[in-house]
């Protein structure tokens, strides 16, 4: 009889640990996104002048004005028409580059509770590839569909390149 109670006790303990594990390890979900613009424009049109990568999150129409000089005019106009109740925007900047041939490629966006990881590749020109000796400002703009996820809270956004988190920013997504 004593063994029976021990087995029941360990079984209940196992169930408790399983429930705690499930609660504290939320499922990672892929978020659907669409590329709005992907460019490596040469010249002074896009003054994201840092040589270091950067990214920004646009979660409301009011925030679009902050990026007016960082993206093309056509994208600025398109973002002004975007439904921010159903979407938010992520812009990844590779940084100021000495020539053409560089680009940003966002491969995946995931969410786990309040953590959103943006996986990107920073592509460089191949040694024998022709390139223009003009300064370029590679970036990619995506819209992320909110769908039926729970939003209306602060999120931590991580930019992940080569399997390393290189930048982290908090942002409220309504």
CA distance linking residue 106 with residue 122, whole number of Å = 9
Q: Is 106 exposed, middle or buried (0-12, 13-18, 19+ CB in 10 A)?
A: buried
The structural domains of the chain, with segments of one domain joined by +, span 27-173
Question: In this predicted structure, what is the pLDDT of residue 19?
Answer: 59
Average pLDDT of span 27-42 = 90
Q: Which residue has the higher pLDDT, 128 or 149?
A: 128
Percent of the chain predicted with pLDDT > 70: 87
Question: In this predicted structure, what is the pLDDT of residue 29?
Answer: 94
Q: Which of 84, 72, 85 is nearest to 36 (CA)?
A: 72
Six-digit token string for 18? 């399983």
Strands 103-112 and 29-30: antiparallel
CA distance linking residue 142 with residue 87, whole number of Å = 10
With a cut of 90, say whether residue 93 has pLDDT above it.
yes
Helix (H) or strand (E) holding 156: strand 153-161
The structure's pTM equals: 0.82
DSSP 31: P
Six-digit token string for 51? 């040589």
Question: In this predicted structure, what is the pLDDT of residue 74?
Answer: 87
DSSP 11: H
Q: Which residue has the higher pLDDT, 107 or 128?
A: 107
Best-predicted range by mean pLDDT among 45-49, 67-71, 152-156? Answer: 152-156
Average pLDDT of span 40-60 = 80
């Amino acid at each position: 009889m004593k063994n029976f109670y021990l087995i029941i006790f360990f079984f209940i303990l196992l169930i408790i640990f399983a429930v705690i594990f499930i609660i504290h390890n939320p499922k990672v979900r892929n978020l659907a996104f669409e590329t709005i613009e992907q460019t490596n424009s040469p010249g002074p049109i896009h003054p994201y002048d840092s040589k270091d990568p950067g990214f920004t999150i646009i979660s409301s129409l009011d925030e679009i004005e902050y990026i007016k000089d960082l993206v093309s005019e056509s994208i600025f106009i398109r973002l002004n028409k975007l439904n921010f109740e159903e979407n938010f925007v992520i812009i990844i900047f590779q940084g100021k580059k000495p020539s053409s041939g560089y680009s940003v490629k966002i491969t995946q966006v995931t969410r786990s509770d309040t953590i959103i990881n943006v996986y990107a590749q920073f592509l460089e020109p191949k040694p024998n590839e022709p390139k223009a000796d003009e300064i370029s400002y590679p970036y990619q703009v995506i819209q992320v569909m909110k769908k039926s996820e729970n939003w209306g809270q602060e999120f931590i956004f991580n930019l992940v390149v080569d399997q390393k988190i290189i930048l982290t920013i908090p942002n409220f997504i309504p």
